[in-house]
Amino acid sequence: MHLPEFYDAGDLIAVLTTQPLGRPLDYRAPEGGCCLGAFVEVPLGPRKVLGVVWGPGQGDYDPAKIRAAYRVLDTAPMREEMRAFLTRAADYTLTPLPAMLRLATRAPGLGDPPSMRKVYRRGTREPDKLTAARKKVLAALSEYGDLSFTLKELAEMAGVGTSVVKGLVAQGAVLEEDSPRDLPFARLNPALPAKELTADQAVAAERLAAAVASEQYGTTLLRGVTGSGKTEVYLEAVAAALRQGRQALVLLPEIALTAEFLTRVEARFGARPAEWHSGATMTERRRIWRMVAQGEAQLVIGARSALFLPYRNLGLIVVDEEHDTSYKQEEGVLYNARDMAVLRASICGAQVVLASATPSLESWVNAEAGKYAKLELTARFGPAVMPQMRAIDMRSEALPANRWVSKMLQTEVEARLARSEQAMLFINRRGYAPVTLCRACGHQIGCDDCDARMVEHRFLKRLVCHQCGESKPMPTVCPACQAEDRLAPVGPGVERLAEEAAALFPQARVATLSSDMYGSARALKAEIEEIAAGAADIVIGTQLVAKGHNFPNLTLVGVIDADLGLQGSDLRAAERTFQLMRQVAGRAGRAEKPGTALLQTYQPEHPVIRAILAGDEERFWAAEAGEREAAGVPPYGRMAGIILSGTDVGMVFDAGNALARQDAPLRAIGAQVFGPAPAPIARVRGRHRVRLLVKAAKSVPLQAALSRWVGQLPLKGDLRVAVDIDPQSFY
């Protein structure tokens, strides 16, 4: 069907809104008409809501009741490719389109006229009296020629109070003008000199640049050990996109979005890119959204949701640390940003670069199969070499109770302290102790609303549920038997390890890095930077230290419990442990000094631990791929998780059983259903959770079958269903 591009006033149009209504609704085009994709404001009941013109009206609604759209918003219409992307992403993830549209309109005030602010620049007149303070202001302005500044900026630059500037305005020596608040971003210059690349790097950079120049879709897996220069290489792909006048997007895990990274980008291109992340202000979000749509933001560096910005001419998407689990959104719309990046690029003819030292098995398999191109950087840049890795067999260490640092690890840390080098102790567990146990009755303190034990956070002086975030003060009597002073912490968390380190190494400066100990991501990043600059001798950290930050003086990493990730039934447990251990180990020996990584383990003969120590990645991936293929699980087969939840456990199970019985739509495609079973976390925020798992062959139309299947279930009471395609976490 051919869609008309423009609708005259009064024509029937279908408008998709962000309200949970399932499908676009019919309206009449507003006065002046509107084009396909236009952002419009429409009446919905008594409210005004935001919508996008999705096509001609369906005409299946009483024409007398159809209302007119109020107005077209002053913003670039949604492009055809964006509508296609949202539609296909919705189909893939089985998400209602309005929820997808919400992801694509996460900027406030889209309908507002561009707001103005006062700016100041040099006027033609001279002031009557030239005081020292006034001289400073005029000098600051003449330094920047014809640029204008806000009042605050100018006063700060000149080092004077704002009244001085105002005084100059009164005399006409400085001009006060209105200027739009949403300013374009400074132009980036891809012609500035890049670092001189090594032979390996140059080959990779040229291949990527050529791919970008082809203006066609393609995905490349860029693999290289930490520090091999992947960032330098993909910045050249960015340069290639900019030279063509196309936009580029670099996706990073939120925590890797550091000042250090932005400084590198600025050094390469001479100006700062747009930064899209959870800490961005509303004004900044709006500015980025608009400038991206107008093509006036050439490069966006962002967390996963930057994928849903309205690029005008996107030529390249880089997904750095592509294996990172934070790319999978686990709440609301369940999507994997890595997969959606590939989808988006394939629709708009862009290139994708997936960069990682330890790729996901999915990407590794796609590269092996020739679906993705593959580029490898084998050596670390400069003198840095991969750290030596060794296991510490904890069975022969005979540690006393409530101690976790082995004698051997202690000796190695002391050697680093003696040489004024940094050491890191890694444990992937936040808080002080994972379990609080009553020594009188054996009771373990759990969350009131979830089937999870509460984790003691001594730093916060509270017990916290890591499932729902609920917290309560640390009790002094056992909630079960009322015994006094018998509650004891069991097992280590990062805070407890810090306590042990302080006792073992009293002369050392110990810094603890755990996401919950800092008020904001910004504060945490600032702390990381100080530590990198030498503000600590021993760093105690959780998973977040594994991600993309340089600690040049760090030469030892001690992993307290290398076995931790291997427990549990997650099909990706081996892969995750392998990646995490390699990443953490990669923190050691980044500069001139060689590094060592020591893994404390009770099962040194475990195949995953052996593969990590041997550093034989190809063998690990091949073996892991073989097992998944034999089991018919991703990436060789497809899976979906269905989570049913509700406050009445009986009702939730009944619904799960009913669904499992009505499996005709699944049998039609040869898919199997497992369950219902209590979800691994069987209760969250007071809601009982039951899980069904669906396994299917790779080539079958799974989504269509799933929506027919789940669609049979009447949603009675507070029963809710969530479908998770390609589940990452199995909770």
Binding stretches for ligand ADP (CB under 6 A): 195-198, 201, 224, 226-232, 381
Residue type (1 letter), 147? L
DSSP state letter for 222: E
The DSSP line for 625-660 is HHHHHHHT-TTSEEEEEEEEEES-HHHHHHHHHHHH
As measured in angstroms, the least distance from the Cβ of 450 to Zn ion is: 3
Q: Residue 465 binds what, of Zn ion, ligand ADP, none (CB under 5 to 8 Å, by partner type)? A: Zn ion
Q: Residue 467 binds what, of Zn ion, ligand ADP, none (CB under 5 to 8 Å, by partner type)? A: Zn ion
Contacts (CB under 5 A) with Zn ion, residues 469-488: 470
Measured CA angle at 674 (ends 669, 677), to 5 deg: 150
Q: Is 556 helix (H, G, I), strand (E, B) or coil?
A: strand
- Cβ contact 380:228 at 8 Å: yes
Please tell me the distance from the alpha carbon of residue 731 to that of residue 719, in angstroms, as a whole number: 18
As measured in angstroms, the least distance from the Cβ of 201 to ligand ADP is: 6
451 binding Zn ion? (CB under 5 A): no
Q: By C-alpha distance, which of 347, 253, 229 is closest to 545?
A: 253
**Residues forming a β-bridge with 185:** none
Q: Is 433 helix (H, G, I), strand (E, B) or coil?
A: strand
**# residues near Zn ion by CB under 5 A:** 7
As measured in angstroms, the least distance from the Cβ of 329 to ligand ADP is: 24
Q: By C-alpha distance, which of 322, 187, 382 is closest to 266?
A: 187
**In Å, what is the CA distance from 222 to each residue of 251, 552, 580, 643, 667?**
14, 24, 18, 35, 39
Rg (CA), the chain: 29
Q: Residue 563 binds what, of ligand ADP, Zn ion, none (CB under 5 to 8 Å, by partner type)? A: none
Instruction: Using the minimum distance from each CB to ligand ADP, give the nearer residue, 218 or 227.
Output: 227
Q: Residue 436 binds what, of Zn ion, ligand ADP, none (CB under 5 to 8 Å, by partner type)? A: none
Q: How many CA atoms lie within 13 A of 208 on its CB side?
A: 34
Instruction: Using the minimum distance from each CB to Zn ion, give the nearer residue, 257 or 682.
Output: 682
Please tell me the distance from the alpha carbon of residue 612 to that of residue 596, in angstroms, as a whole number: 13
Measured CA angle at 613 (ends 610, 618), to 5 deg: 80
Q: Residue 196 binds what, of Zn ion, ligand ADP, none (CB under 5 to 8 Å, by partner type)? A: ligand ADP
Q: Residue 449 binds what, of ligand ADP, Zn ion, none (CB under 5 to 8 Å, by partner type)? A: Zn ion
As measured in angstroms, the least distance from the Cβ of 226 to ligand ADP is: 5
Instruction: Using the minimum distance from each CB to ligand ADP, give the nearer residue, 542 or 583.
Output: 583
Please tell me the distance from the alpha carbon of residue 39 to that of residue 31, in angstroms, as a whole number: 14
Give the residue, chosen from 297, 468, 531, 597, that forms a contact with Zn ion under the rule CB under 5 A: 468
Q: Residue 683 binds what, of ligand ADP, Zn ion, none (CB under 5 to 8 Å, by partner type)? A: none
585 binding Zn ion? (CB under 5 A): no
As measured in angstroms, the least distance from the Cβ of 449 to Zn ion is: 5
Instruction: Using the minimum distance from each CB to Zn ion, give the nearer residue, 321 or 470.
Output: 470
As measured in angstroms, the least distance from the Cβ of 691 to Zn ion is: 18
Please tell me the distance from the alpha carbon of residue 296 to that of residue 311, in angstroms, as a whole number: 10
Q: Is 680 helix (H, G, I), strand (E, B) or coil?
A: strand
Q: Which residues contact 198 (CB under 8 A, 6 or more apart)?
A: 229, 379, 381
Q: By C-alpha distance, which of 227, 263, 318, 201 is closest to 585?
A: 227
Q: Residue 198 binds what, of Zn ion, ligand ADP, none (CB under 5 to 8 Å, by partner type)? A: ligand ADP
**Residues forming a β-bridge with 637:** 697
Segment near Zn ion (CB under 5 A); pick from 20-28, 372-380, 461-469, 477-485: 461-469
41 binding Zn ion? (CB under 5 A): no
Q: Residue 105 binds what, of Zn ion, ligand ADP, none (CB under 5 to 8 Å, by partner type)? A: none
Instruction: Using the minimum distance from each CB to ligand ADP, give the nearer residue, 90 or 252.
Output: 252
Instruction: Using the minimum distance from each CB to ligand ADP, give the nearer residue, 121 or 195.
Output: 195
Query: What are 556's two structure tokens?
Result: 């030892």
Segment near Zn ion (CB under 5 A); pick from 21-29, 463-471, 481-489, 528-536: 463-471
As measured in angstroms, the least distance from the Cβ of 555 to ligand ADP is: 16
Site string for Zn ion, 492-511 (x = CB under 5 A): --------------------
As measured in angstroms, the least distance from the Cβ of 381 to ligand ADP is: 4
Q: Is 484 helix (H, G, I), strand (E, B) or coil?
A: strand
Give the residue, chosen from 353, 450, 544, 598, that forms a contact with Zn ion under the rule CB under 5 A: 450
Give the residue, chosen from 103, 299, 334, 447, that forms a contact with Zn ion under the rule CB under 5 A: 447
As measured in angstroms, the least distance from the Cβ of 266 to ligand ADP is: 13
As measured in angstroms, the least distance from the Cβ of 234 to ligand ADP is: 8
Please tell me the distance from the alpha carbon of residue 72 to that of residue 466, in angstroms, as a whole number: 45
Give the residue, chosen from 105, 366, 436, 467, that forms a contact with Zn ion under the rule CB under 5 A: 467
As measured in angstroms, the least distance from the Cβ of 540 to ligand ADP is: 23
- Cβ contact 120:137 at 8 Å: no
As measured in angstroms, the least distance from the Cβ of 238 to ligand ADP is: 13
449 binding Zn ion? (CB under 5 A): yes
- Cβ contact 51:36 at 8 Å: no
Helix (H) / strand (E) containing 439: none
617 binding Zn ion? (CB under 5 A): no
Query: What are 592's two structure tokens?
Result: 């001139």
Contacts with Zn ion, residue ranges (CB under 5 A):
447, 449-450, 465, 467-468, 470
